[in-house]
Structure 1
Amino acid sequence: MTVQNILLSGIVGSTAYGLAHAGSDVDRLGMFAAPTEELHGLHGPKESYVSKAPDSTLHEAAKWCRLALGGNPTAMELVWLPDDLYEVRTPLGDELIGIRTTFLSARRVRDAYLGYATQQFRKLQNRNDGTPTDVEADAATVARRTAKNARHLKRLCQQGYELYATGELSIRVDDPESYRRFGEQVAADPAAAGPLLREYEEAFTRTRSVLPEQPDDTAAEAWLRRVRRHFYAPGE
């Protein structure tokens, strides 16, 4: 997959979290700018490129902004990565990192992170009930999938709460072994995930966020307009 005008990209997923193991895939996430001239036609440019082997997702700048303003946890990672995980950085990408907090809002962070964590919890419940997909899988495969979903549930809860309470997002988790132990515990008893999810739901409820109720989309708009000017090359 060849995409031009990449503004920012890096390694995300389990490698970034510090939860990778020997067989883990290396996931990459990035953002690119479509040539501005292409935005004026009847059919707009493609907004996302997704490839496998290696796993890579690239979003067009405007789409990434919409995702981030909505609190999307996966999109948000791109502007909070440790420096050593970035593979492409440009001046416009650095500008975006500089305004990353303006994309945040208390309600959207809470709803997005708890929403994604709840999705992981439902996967655990469905797997425990014997969904058609997993009925045919061997016990070891089901256990691995269950443990992975449990680790993601715990990570989403912890990262979302940190972002909600402090306005900062740590990509690398503290004490990765505690996540692995939690995954093994839930693999043995999926019901063990319920108390952790409820604990964080209550923590969000009782904590006053440092974030505003609405994101500052004027900063995103101004940045996106700078991107459009930079990549404007009118046809002859």
Structure 2
Amino acid sequence: MKGVKFLVAFVVLALASSFAFASDPSPLQDFCVALDDHYKNGVFVNGKFCKDPKLVTPDNFFFPGLNNPKNTSNPVGSTVKNVNVVQIPGLNTLGISLARIDYMPYGQNPPHIHPRASEILFVQEGTLYVGFVTSIPDNRVFTKVLNKGDVFVFPIGLIHFQFNIGKTNAVAFASLSSQNPGVITIANAVFGSNPPINPDVLASAFQLDQNVVKSLQAKFWWDNN
């Protein structure tokens, strides 16, 4: 009987362990440089075909020019330059990516989420007011004013934002815990969806007049990514 109990306990622990690691297994190779097109003899890993290791070059792990300022003359006053697996194929299976965010004075990176990544933000220049909102039940807001050299963390999947409260341009760099973190800008997704969400739904959800909802849906929602 003791042997049976031990076996059951062992199976339960083994299953728990397999579930815990099933979603994000460690890579079993040094790298898997991603290929955009189908590769007849390639290995399909994490949604990408791997390049033949013998054909991999240093350029597969390289991206230039992230020191160059980006144009921020747009409705939100910011521009995000993403460096993920699309820009650096060698990031495939490594679980990391990078972004540069430029802000004009009083520009913002509007409230958004990354469905597949946590983010750590480093301010290189300027003064940013940043924050994130927790989930139900309290929707608590955590905010902080960041100056040059400061760092702030945004947990995975939570709504967060950055706002340049200074009178000069600001620059920040973000590291994210996914090769392809994704981004959903809240206002764009809700009021700029394609096709539009039924105005009755949004009027009820936001407790707004339907004409206000239709006006918001008619706006051009700027994607700063």
Shorter-chain TM band: under 0.3
Q: Which has the higher strand share?
A: 2
Larger Cα Rg: Structure 1 or Structure 2?
A: 2
Q: Which has the higher helix share?
A: 1
Kindly indicate whether structure 1 or structure 2 has the higher relative contact order, using CA contacts under 8 Å at least 6 residues apart: 1
TM-score by length of 1: 0.25
